[in-house]
Structure 1
Amino acid sequence: MPKFRRKPVIVEAVKITSPITIETAEGTLTGKAGDYLITHADGTQYPCNADTFKQTYEPIKVDIRTFVYKVLRKVKHKLKTQ
């Protein structure tokens, strides 16, 4: 039988320092201090248990030049559309 691997998804995440409550499409979710707040590329956010986060995600290295270039492109595009 063929085997498949889930495609990697890059997310932004920060460690939560105090309890939070977030309204999502699935309902109200809460996160406690020590959990992570995950933000997807489309802007959706949700809290994730610290243990689950560490098992599911790994840090990636970001090339600063590529990052700055992408940010400047977005800013330039926004200035053109105003």
Structure 2
Amino acid sequence: MAKYRKKPVVIDAVQFDGTLQSVDGFMPYDAFEYRPSYHMPTSSAPSSLTIQTLEGAMTANHWDYIIKGVNGEFYPCKPDIFAKTYEAVE
């Protein structure tokens, strides 16, 4: 079995805090559907974004990161996976 290493790529990302302001200017509004919570962020149904990704619709929940991929696509990433995969460069 061959082993491979992920190429170092610098990505743009934001952390979704449950508000539209947290993604404003990062991704176009036609790239997602926002579902607000009226009791955010402690509600049992927190705010979320449904993002159309290359793999289909995916949900970004409160505190997930939203990553802009190398081809300009967007997708969500859980905070623990983001921390294991990425480090700040600026």
TM-score (norm 1): 0.65
Question: 1:56 deviation in Å?
Answer: 0.5
Bigger relative contact order, structure 1 or 2 (CA pairs below 8 A, ≥6 apart): 2
Partner of 1:52, secondary structure, is helix
Calculate percent identity across the aligned residue pairs. Answer: 42
Question: Can you give the 5+ residue segments of structure 2 that lack an aligned partner in the other structure?
Answer: 19-47
User: In the alignment, residue 51 of structure 1 is paired with which amino acid?
Assistant: D
Query: 2:57 corresponds to which residue?
Result: 28
- 1:17 matched to which residue of 2? 17
Change (3 A) 1:5 1:17: same
Q: What is residue 88 of structure 2 aligned with on the other side?
A: 59
Normalized per residue, the structure richer in helix is: 1
Q: Which residues of structure 1 form unaligned runs of 5+?
A: 62-82
Structure with the higher fraction of residues in strand conformation: 2
- Match for 2:75: what amino acid? Y
The root-mean-square deviation of aligned C-alpha atoms, in Å, is: 1.9
Q: How many residues align?
A: 61
Task: Output the TM-score relative to the length of structure 2.
Answer: 0.60
Q: Deviations over 1:5-45 (max 9, x none)?
A: 32111110000012111011211100111110000242100
